[in-house]
Amino acid sequence: MAEIKQTMGWTEWGLLIVLSILWGGSFFFVGVAVKALPPFTIVALRVVIAALALNILVPAMGHRMPTGRQAWLAFLGMGLLNNAIPFSLIVWGQIYIASGLASILNATTPFFTVIVAHFFLADERLSGRRLIGVIVGITGVVIMIGLQALDGLGGGNFALLAQLAIVTATLSYAFSGVYGRRFSGMGLSPLVVATGQLTAASALLIPIALLIDQPWTLAMPGLNVWGAVIGLALISTSLAYIIYFRILAVAGATNLLLVTLLIPVSAILLGTTILGERLEPRHFVGMGLLAIGLIIIDGRILTLFNQK
């Protein structure tokens, strides 16, 4: 298995920021699509379109998909943990709770990841420094989005179930980050791994969507919904997962899942530049805490101070 960098370099941090922007847009895309389409249909379309795009790209880039049973069983496990389960739970949850609250709950992923990685990965043991950093970062996320987003807590049985669904999704992401480490020793490119997991997830989700949602009975959605679905598939899924597996291979599960702390920042900055939204003081406080949390987890600056 390839050696994992406990401290990320500038390349990994740059890729992490790009990934946060791509995944930050997924909350917007889901928010548009969920008003016209049922959850399993959205998730099935997301992974099927993304898988088709990547299966076209694989031979175009000179790669070949593996044919062995071991690789495809690994793809199936990753597709279940990283796509089918969390995508479905998050989309269903966004029917009943605000996207702001969903983002807060989604940002707890690194907390679960450091715990899961501690028990399953010998080279990613939980340290007090990392745990403190994650807690500080999550506090910053809560402040940025605003405590009013927490008004949905206790807002009825479905609201409570929706919150539990998204927390369960973050736990699935945590396990997927650990499970995905096996690909670093299989000699597969990030593009091939992303294609394999999305293809396997498609095989899981197509029959579920057909059986439960019966999409042929639905009214034809508008262009805005199709645009959101295509953006969700190609931008927030196909491209995002190529970057995801690149970071996972060199920086490990704990560092990779820091992206969930950056996603709300991306959403705020995109809203400011594209939608003309205005940043409030709490956003600057939250981003400051987020920066401190990331510095604590990364440890590079703290090490420099200790050497003086």
Element (H, E) at 204: helix 190-212
What is Dmax (Cα atoms) for the chain? 68
To the nearest whole number, what is the mean pLDDT of the chain? 81
Is residue 142 within 8 Å of residue 287, measured between CB atoms? no
Least confident range of 13-17, 37-41, 159-163, 235-239: 159-163
**Residue 226: both structure tokens together:** 């199709």
Alpha-carbon distance 36 to 144, whole Å? 29
Per-residue pLDDT for 86 more than 70? yes
Alpha-carbon distance 107 to 71, whole Å? 30
pLDDT per position as a tens digit, 241-250: 888 878 877 7
Least confident range of 178-192, 213-227, 276-290: 276-290
Which is nearest to 265 in space by CA: 246, 250, 284, 247? 284
Is residue 235 within 8 Å of residue 21, measured between CB atoms? no
301 confidence band (pLDDT: 50, 70, 90): low
**Residue 151: both structure tokens together:** 């008004």
Q: How far is CA 280 from CA 55, 63, 298, 300, in A?
A: 43, 47, 27, 30
Percent with pLDDT over 70 in the chain: 80
Segments making up each domain of the chain, as ranges: 10-303
Per-residue pLDDT for 84 more than 70? yes
Mean pLDDT over residues 254-280, rounded? 68
126 confidence band (pLDDT: 50, 70, 90): low
Per-residue pLDDT for 260 more than 80? no
CA angle 2, 297, 238 (to 5 degrees): 55
